[in-house]
């Protein structure tokens, strides 16, 4: 998979991917599309950084959206990461996450925050974060609705120089 900057033509395929996952509610998809539109209509903005993963034939397979957390020095929010159901379990999500981590690192970031739901439909999402070095940092009970907690994961990113000096 190749990860490239998000472009306007990605909106349709990515909306279809978000719908196909069967995880996101319509209002969540609507917010995702609004962020996509902000990225293409306001290219100078730096709140939302978006990249798309495409296969060898150029077909959109997934994307991520990350941005600096307001009023923090080196923290970034991972707003969205999603891949086509057909691409799940094949490493595409990891490639997108690796790209995201390197982007955050290159911009001086030191921590990534990912928020998700406690619903069973998000079990794979939570397992993905844990598998890739995220730690459950907080849980707010009944946040989204009764029985649906907000689960906050964090991942600390070391500067490559720091990581080498620890070895």
CATH code for the domain of 16: 3.40.630.30
Confidence tier at 161 by pLDDT (50, 70, 90): low
* Total tally of structural domains belonging to the chain: 1
- Strand ranges across the sheet with 60-68: 2-5, 49-54, 60-68, 75-83, 111-117, 148-156, 135-145
Instruction: Provide the domain limits for residue 75.
Output: 2-166
Element (H, E) at 15: helix 11-21
- Whole-number average pLDDT of the chain: 94
**pLDDT value of residue 89:** 82
R_g of the chain computed on alpha carbons:
16
pLDDT per residue as tens digits for the range 63-77: 999 999 999 999 999
């Amino acid at each position: 998979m190749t990860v490239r900057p998000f472009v306007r033509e990605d909106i349709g395929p990515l909306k279809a991917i978000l719908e196909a996952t069967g995880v996101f509610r319509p209002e969540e998809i609507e917010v995702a599309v609004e962020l996509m539109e902000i990225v293409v209509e306001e290219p100078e903005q730096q709140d939302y950084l978006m990249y798309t993963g495409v296969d060898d034939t150029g077909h959109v397979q997934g994307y991520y959206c990350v941005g600096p957390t307001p009023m923090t020095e080196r923290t970034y929010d991972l707003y969205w990461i999603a891949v086509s159901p057909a691409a799940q379990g094949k490493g595409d999500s990891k490639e997108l996450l690796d790209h995201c981590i390197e982007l955050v690192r290159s911009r001086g970031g030191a921590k990534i925050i990912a928020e998700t739901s406690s619903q069973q439909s998000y079990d794979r999402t939570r397992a993905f974060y844990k598998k890739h070095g995220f730690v459950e940092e907080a849980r707010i009970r009944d946040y989204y609705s009764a029985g649906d907690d907000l689960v906050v994961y964090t991942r600390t990113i070391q500067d490559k120089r720091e990581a080498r000096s620890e070895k």
